[in-house]
Amino acid sequence: MTDLKSENNGLSGQPQIPIPAFDDPPKKPRRNKFALACATLASLASILLGYDFGVMSGAVIYIQKDLKISDVEIEVLVGILNLYSLLGSAAAGRTSDWIGRRYTIVLAAGIFFIGALLMGFATNYAFLMVGRFVAGVGVGYALMVAPVYTAEISPASSRGFLTSFPEVFINAGILLGYVSNYAFSKLPTQLGWRFMLGIGAVPSVFLAVVVLALPESPRWLIMQGRLGDAKKVLDKTSDSKEEADLRLADIKEAAGIPENCTGDVVAVPKRSHGEDVWRELLVHPTPSILHILILAVGIHFFQASSAIGAVVLYTPRIFEKAGITNDTDKLLATMAVGFVKTIFILVATFLLDRIGRRPLLLTSIAGMILSSTALGVALTIIDNSDHTPTWAVALCISILLSYVAWFSIGMGPVTWVYSSEIFPLKLRAQGCSIGVAANTVITGVISMTFISLYKAITIGGALFLFTGTAMVGWVFFYTLLPETQGKTLEEMEVLFGTFFKWRSTMKNLKNKKEFKGDGDGDGDGKIQPELQLQG
């Protein structure tokens, strides 16, 4: 075989040229450290939401004792932040297009800082609600802008990993809130809950300072005509110079900037004040945009309508129903929930770009369905028993930990990754804000009605209701949701618009890519040896 190769090369008179098709496969590019640092710092904004969720679950135990408020007032206090955050989310899309993603994160931190201080110094229920309003607006800003910034700064090869960071930090914030509950629970009742809530001002100060060190989103810079600044950011956040040039060309095209405009500062086509964006999203959407919008709202709806909101906010009450009566024991068990959520969300970040969004999401929901069913059965048995055996308490804790683990491995991070990457550039900020709005409304409604709900239909019945919703969600995602792993943000729109026939679309795109990629036009995905020798 060797002699034959030598003879052929001798006949051609050409020196032997290595054949690329038989070389070792190219190594996967190293993770871009600059993009990693930017995504990490920007995602710190999500700690604000997580901390508030986590800390309020334990603080309400002492708030109720100190202020002598009813269960209905507790429901309103706990859940109203989600509705208040709608104002922040609604304003964040326009604000981030006006002053940039980076300064919007700083604004979010400043608003939350004021809200945390107001809650910490609250003297009565009305004063506390004012603090919840201000903090809620800050949370809404952070919840919308952090995933958008992270998606726009990330190269395609690690976008799933990096855009899952906001969910990672939400869980880290929840865990910090649980730890704060336990740490301050030994203080006098009237001081303990105020320290729990007021200490939330500290991470917001740190966030505002570190975010100022970040570069602005390259997509926002290009929308302002600042191509020179955008090129510098893209060069630092891309895996190669070629990818940076490709990303720049794609974003320019999406922003309506001609390809021959290459100056550092160029004129950008005039845009309206957002009316055309809302028209394209809601009034006259194309089939592709309609498909994207349905999925963005749907994935947020089904994440929020799972039992996770109730589990995070009312974990101590669920443990009380399971038979744990001591406040300290309830807070310790709640800390275990926060720890498991954080660990499994970290695992998920490394799987998103390896396994893909779709398999993780479907597996996650299936696990949640099994766990919530088992928890509902266990709590129903305990609810109808005169005596709660130790094994039953341990079983409920184990199942609850299993539930949050399944949520964190897929449904938690995929929601934010998917919804932040599927919208085209022009519609991204407003589109994401619609998804976040759906999430916060549903979470708020569940949070504000959970106690009343489980009193009306038992806590087991409430969990069975959430299980039914999750089953509908699994079917929805299985039929409508295409895989977006490895696609550039500007390629996304091609994947959508055929709704239930998206599998055929993806297959055609794959075949077309293979045909173009082989270089010899025969569509076999391989370069013929004679072409390799010529090349």
Can you give the residue ranges of every domain in the chain? 32-214, 275-512
Residue type, 300: H
Per-residue pLDDT tens listing for the chain (535 residues): 444 444 444 444 444 444 444 444 445 556 678 888 888 888 888 888 888 888 988 899 899 989 999 888 998 898 888 888 888 887 887 888 889 999 999 999 999 999 999 999 999 999 999 999 999 999 888 878 887 888 888 887 777 778 778 778 888 888 899 899 999 988 998 899 999 999 989 888 988 888 888 899 998 998 888 899 999 999 998 888 888 888 888 888 877 788 778 778 887 776 655 567 788 888 888 888 999 999 999 999 999 988 787 787 788 888 888 878 788 888 888 888 889 988 998 888 888 878 888 999 999 999 999 999 998 888 888 878 777 777 778 888 899 899 999 999 999 888 888 887 888 877 877 888 788 788 888 888 888 888 888 889 988 888 899 999 999 999 999 998 988 877 765 666 677 887 887 777 777 766 766 655 554 444 444 444 433 333 3
SS3 call for 500: helix
Compute the distance between CA of residue 138 and CA of residue 105 in angstroms, rounded to an integer.
9
Report the predicted TM-score, pTM, of the whole model to 2 decimal places: 0.73
Token pair listed for 267: 């004129």
Chain centroid, CA 307 distance in Å: 17
Report the candidate in 29, 287, 295, 22 with the shortest Cα–Cα distance to residue 154: 29
Q: Around Cβ 189, how many Cβ atoms within 10 Å?
A: 15
Question: Does domain 32-214 bear CATH number 1.20.1250.20?
Answer: yes
268: helix, coil or strand?
coil
Domain 275-512 in CATH 1.20.1250.20: yes
Q: Does the fold of domain 275-512 match that of domain 32-214?
A: yes
Closest CA to 104 of 91, 113, 117: 91
